Structure 1
Amino acid sequence: MYAFDIERPATVAEAAAALGGDEAQALGGGQTLIPTLKQRLASPEKLVSLSGVSEMKGITSAGGVLSIGGATVHGDVAGDGSYKALSELASHIGDPAVRNRGTIGGSLANNDPSACYPAAALASGATIVTNTREIAADDYFVDLFETALDEGEIITAVKFPIPEKASYQKFVQPASRFALVGVFVAKASGGVRVAVTGASNGGVYRWTAAEDALNGNFSPSALDGVNVSADDMISDLHGSAEYRAHLVSVMTKRAVDAAS
């Protein structure tokens, strides 16, 4: 590690002001940022901890929309149950230590290509609420570790429309507990949305061919013959591009079956 300053604001306004300086970095649960600092892949002069901002914590449900504060930890999402598929997803992130420190806002801000929450947000048609605006999930995710957030912008909440049916199925990379491939399927009045994480070199994405097939027939058999190209899939020591492409199809069918 190296020397840096740390601030612990109590309000969103104070946090935004603290992040307005040079070389400042927001700190959620630190599950990604702290290892990054240890490896010297980032070296901000100041960390702004969001753990004390009470207005960014908590879960509420109204009008078919689940609103989760950006500083809410995974364990609280797992224990809520208002959106069962999302709670199930949160209950399988990392281990208990990770679930009691990591936050939904931190995960979405980092946009790790194998993280689970991005698939949930994209498939659910969620809205990312920041201290300055609201961003639709379809416009939020840009590329690997890249989002539409501006410098110093803070995720204060995430709004999830609760669908009629949904399920998240994850093929776990056993060492990290990240998704080697994860698929979130959500069926709402506006149609079916399918989001895939862990597989693509471009990060989380919607599998539109599967959506088209499932809009006509929401069953695993509707996906027979609907395949994913391996051209832009991640290939590493954990699995080839072809293996990941195959898993996308398998996990999507499992998600549809579980949702049904």
Structure 2
Amino acid sequence: MGYTNEDKRKKELRVDCKKCFGLCCVALYFSASEGFPTNKDAGKPCINLKKDFTCSVHKNLKDKGLKGCMAYDCFGAGQKLAQVTYKGEDWRKNSKYSKEMFDGFLIMRQLHEMLWYLSEAFTLEKSKSIKEDIKLLMDKTERLTMLDPNSLLEVDVEIHRNEVNKFLKNTSEMIRNKYSYRKKGNSKNSGGHRRVDYFGANLKKTNLRGADLRGACLIASNVRGGDLSGADLIGADLRDADLSGANLSKSIFLTQAQINAAKGDSNTKLPEMLVRPSHWEK
């Protein structure tokens, strides 16, 4: 397409709600306890979704405490399905295809998420042969996103994800080994061992450089001023984690949704591809 992986993540893998049909506001299950307007079944429109597919309370999400809405990110899957897969035909005009469209959105979102991670892995990887393999897998994933509606629904996402994860793990180990270190006698060093539960933990004095935080629970943890260079945060739950003043500029496999769900300030350093949330402290 004539542009880099960084450009791809900026242009194709970022949300553009104006080109979508409010798919995330309809296709997904909502729980009020997770920061959404109300409990909502999958396939049922959100009470705040307007006829033009915009949100009636979008400007007041923070004031209303709708953290789930503030955090959600589809990696650009919504506009891809709306404009490419269904060629601009929305679910209201073609209600007989609505369930098909909603199911397809869930698959497309996962494929776009994988493209986000693969694009980063390609950029980080040093081995030319491995980069070529990642590029082939990116092309394969891209082809899956271009399938017609019926073929998209037949994609075995788990099998494809397992193939993707092999490369993500290899890249993770390479990067983490570059940044991690251990200090003798320091029991709080996490760079060399695997821990999953950091719920509410005070990590200000913990070495998180090169840490393996894949899938870790960091809800409401205190990471203020921490250095997470080389830390793998894929799938980590950062809801209400305090990242004020933390350095995440060299963290890997971090997403916009994770950052949106966390707390931070103007001193928090983020990877180049991520945008500082407007609701963070100044």
Q: Output the TM-score relative to the length of structure 2.
A: 0.24
Higher relative contact order (CA 8 A, sep 6+): 1
Q: Output the TM-score relative to the length of structure 1.
A: 0.25
Which one has a larger percent helix, Structure 1 or Structure 2? 2
Which one has a larger percent strand, Structure 1 or Structure 2? 1
* Bigger Rg over Cα: 2
